Every structure is written in C-alpha cells, then in structure tokens.
Amino acid sequence: MTVPNTLLGKVMMVLHAYGIDDEELGFAELGRRTGLAKATLHRLLGELVEVRLLDRGERGYRLGGHLFQLGIRASVERRLVEVATPYLEDLYERTHETVHLGLREGHEVVYVAKIGGHRQAASPSRLGGRLPLHATAIGKALLAHAPPHVLAEILAAPLTRRAPRTVSTPGALRRQLRQVARTGVAYEFEESRIGLACVACPVLDQDDRVVAAVSVAGPTTRFHPQAHAASVQAAATGIALTLARRAALTADPAR
C-alpha cells in the first residue's frame, strides 16, 4: 500500500501493518513492517492507544475496539450486510455449506460476511480478510463486471498462484470471465485451496454495475457447485432487488 509521507500516512502504515491472523504485534515487529523510525513509531503508538485505535497488550499492541465501532458505522457496507443477511442465512439453510458475501477493493475480494456452521470447509477466507480476485469464484464474479481498466491491470500483472489449479494465464482467465459475464455464475475448483470448490454470483444494481457477490463453498469430497448455482443466483437476485427497493424509497419517501 502506498501512503503519503504525512502524519496520517504514518498512522495508516501502523494500522495496515496488521494481517488478518495478527492479534498482537510487538514494537520491534511493527518497526520492521512499517519502516518507521523508533522515536516516530513510539510517539504514534502512544497516541493511537490514547484514542483507542490501538490497545496495549501483554506482548505488544492490538487493534483497538474503537476501530470496530467505526467499522460498524460504515454506511454502505453496513446497509449491504443488513440487507444480505436474511438471504445468506436462507442460502446456508439450503446448502449447509460455507456462505460468503464479498466486495471488490482494488484487485482483491474483501469478505464482509461469512456463515459457516459446524462443518464448514477449510477455507482461506476470513471475515474482513482478502484474497486475489482471479483465484476465487466470488472474486471472478466481481471481476467479470468490474470496470475495464481493473481487468486490464489484473491481466497485465502476474497472476499469483494460490494453489496448483489457480488460473495463472491471462488468456484462460479472460475466457472464464467471458463465461461468467454471459451466465452470471462463476466457479472455482481448488484454485484458492486444495480440496475446496465454490460457486458465486454477482449482485448487480439497476445499471448492471456490480455491488457485491455471493458464494457457497464446500469440500470437493461432498460439494458439487453446479448443483447449487440456482440457489446462489436466487440469493444474489434477492439482495439486488431489496437494495433497489430501499434506494427507491430513499429517493422518494412518499412511495
């Protein structure tokens, strides 16, 4: 991530130093990850603790509770998750496999909701986590409807392998995305993790712009994604229609 060499930029460097699996990071590790001078980092950490963006733990620093509160207030994602949750729950009841809701941010999918149950498949997805768009079904559903410049950037860059079957050539990815755009359904077969299959569909607005995507994933030993495509498509359509109704009511409260 490129950030400006300002106070705010340095704060963002500290906050973005935390990965999805990091609970606490020590001073030395934060210094290594941010590259900030010791005096600067020490001052920033103290100020971030004071405003509750970080909490001081036994072994170092962890992300603070105030960040969670601010995240909950993020209106677009909050509204989307509120609308989508009943459909995601219905989809889980129909499939009893892991259900996701994801958004595109740059060249990655960000998971904003996940319902897994007691027998959920081993999956690299995490709530709030990120994966490359080209390596997941939900990412391909988002990418197939992304602006042309986003697709051009991804096809021009190396396609990182997450697993042996990750699509790693631009031509193969382009062909898959054309199929996704035509059918409205994206598939993944052991592309983000060995033993995992997935089916996903985009949530589109009234102008056919992608808002989010929904997916169901399960182990290849029992999960056949094609059998669940219609259910995933129905959930994505339901979310899209509900968002459209809410937008219409907001625009015209008298309706």
| Mean of pLDDT values over 191-205 | 93
Same-domain check for residues 130 and 210: yes
- Rounded to two decimals, the pTM is 0.71
> Considering its fold, how many domains does the chain have in total?
2
Q: Can you give the CATH number for the domain in which 131 is found?
A: 3.30.450.40
Same-domain check for residues 65 and 79: no
Same-domain check for residues 52 and 78: no
pLDDT of residue 6: 84
Same-domain check for residues 108 and 53: no
pLDDT of residue 110: 87
Q: In this predicted model, what pLDDT tens digit does every residue of 56-81 receive, in sequence order?
A: 888 899 988 777 656 655 555 678 88
In the predicted model, is pLDDT for residue 108 greater than 70?
yes
* Domain boundary pick from 51, 71, 91: 71
Same-domain check for residues 35 and 131: no
Same-domain check for residues 54 and 90: no
| CA–CA distance, 138 with 86 (Å, rounded to integer) | 19
* Domain boundary pick from 27, 46, 71: 71
Same-domain check for residues 140 and 215: yes
Same-domain check for residues 90 and 129: yes
In the predicted model, is pLDDT for residue 117 greater than 80?
no
| CA–CA distance, 17 with 140 (Å, rounded to integer) | 27
| CA–CA distance, 109 with 245 (Å, rounded to integer) | 26
What is the extent of the structural domain holding 100?
Answer: 74-250
pLDDT of residue 58: 83
* Domain boundary pick from 71, 92, 120: 71
| Mean of pLDDT values over 119-134 | 77
Average pLDDT, the chain: 87
pLDDT of residue 118: 67
pLDDT of residue 44: 92
Q: In this predicted model, what pLDDT tens digit does every residue of 31-62 receive, in sequence order?
A: 999 999 999 999 999 999 988 889 888 889 99
The answer to whether residue 66 sits within a structural domain is yes
Same-domain check for residues 81 and 18: no
Same-domain check for residues 48 and 129: no
| CA–CA distance, 6 with 72 (Å, rounded to integer) | 27
Same-domain check for residues 194 and 175: yes
| CA–CA distance, 65 with 83 (Å, rounded to integer) | 25
Q: Can you give the CATH number for the domain in which 43 is found?
A: 1.10.10.10
Percent of the chain whose predicted confidence (pLDDT) is above 70 = 88
Do 32 and 14 touch, CB atoms closer than 8 A?
A: no
The answer to whether residue 104 sits within a structural domain is yes
